[in-house]
Amino acid sequence: MSEKEKTKKKENVHKDHRSRMHERFLNTGFEHFEPHQVLEYLLFFPIPRRDTNPTAHRLLNAFKGDFDRVLRAKPGALTKVEGVGERTAGFFSLLGIIDRKYRGGGEKDGAELKNRREVLERLIPFLRREPDGTVCVMFFNNSVEPLDTVRYDGKRFGYPTPDYRLIVKDAMDRNAGSLATARKCGGRISFSAKERAAFRELDHLLRRLDMCLIDHFAVTDTDGEACFGQNALDLAFFTEA
DSSP conformation letters of 98-125: HIIIIITTGGGTTPPP-SHHHHHHHHHH
H/E segment holding residue 224: strand 224-226
> Average pLDDT of 19-32?
87
3-state DSSP assignment of residue 50 = coil
Is residue 54's pLDDT more than 70?
A: yes
d(CA 135, CA 159): 8
Amino acid at 143: S
Which residues does 197 contact at the CB level (< 8 Å), separation at least 6?
Answer: none
Which residues of the chain form CATH 3.40.140.10?
111-226
- Going by DSSP bridges, is the β-strand pair 224-226/135-140 parallel, antiparallel, or unpaired? unpaired
- Predicted confidence at residue 4, as pLDDT, reads 54
55 confidence band (pLDDT: 50, 70, 90): very high
The candidate with the shortest Cα–Cα distance to 149, out of 173, 166, 167, 126, is 126
234 confidence band (pLDDT: 50, 70, 90): very low
pTM of the model: 0.59
151 against 68, higher pLDDT: 151
Burial class (CB in 10 A: 0-12, 13-18, 19+), 166: middle
- Predicted confidence at residue 144, as pLDDT, reads 81
CATH 1.10.630.10 assigned to domain 111-226? The reply is: no
> Average pLDDT of 183-207?
88
d(CA 230, CA 104): 25
d(CA 134, CA 185): 8
**C-beta separation of 203 from 192 below 8 A:** no
d(CA 25, CA 41): 9
**C-beta separation of 181 from 191 below 8 A:** no
Is the previous residue joined to 35 through a cis bond, with omega within 30 degrees of 0? no
**How far lies 213's CA from each of 20, 48, 71, 167, in Å?**
45, 44, 25, 11
